[in-house]
Amino acid sequence: MRIFTAPAETPIGILQLSCREEGVCRIAFTGGPAIPSDFPATGSPGDAPGLAEHRWIREARNQLAEYFQRKRRKFMLPLSLEGTAFQESVWNAILKVPYGTTLSYRELAARIGRPEAVRAVGAAVGSNPIPIIVPCHRILGSNGRLTGFAGGLKVKERLLELEGSRIPFG
């Protein structure tokens, strides 16, 4: 199965976008530099020169740009998620957490009908292959504190601030 990959510049740094024919399959934080200003009101990320990109990469880049410009609250992209049945149930539940709101790992476990599986839910959240689009940054510790995130806690905090989420104990 062929995977297409290309970078995307964002206010939180360079993201590596990957897709298959079925849809977006991965977003990775590269640790690259961020665009200097925080969440610019205008503009869009530049395309890598000479790169013949897959349509889902282009669409993901466009929708991410709109998200960071506060013009998009919900991503409308086909996703190609691959994990265990349990992981996929967690990731699908995360997709239902609305923009600007947060849930605890405990609440997420209850939503999937597995209230005793809080640690397993945490592991599934941590293995989310498509952060931001599958908005695992909206999942907090049961005390309201920020917990692990692939892009780092500062990026998680910035994403929540962008969405206007209240972080109880930051």
**How many CA within 13 A on the CB side of residue 27?**
26
Distance from C-alpha of 170 to C-alpha of 121, rounded to nearest angstrom? 21
65 within 8 A of 25, measured Cβ to Cβ? no
Q: How many CB atoms lie within 10 A of CB 165?
A: 17
Catalytic site includes residue 136: yes
Which string of DSSP letters, residue by residue, matches 102-121? -EEHHHHHHHTT-TT-HHHH
Could you say which of 6, 81, 136, 140 is catalytic? 136
Distance from C-alpha of 93 to C-alpha of 106, rounded to nearest angstrom? 13
Identity of the amino acid at 10:
T
Catalytic residues: 136
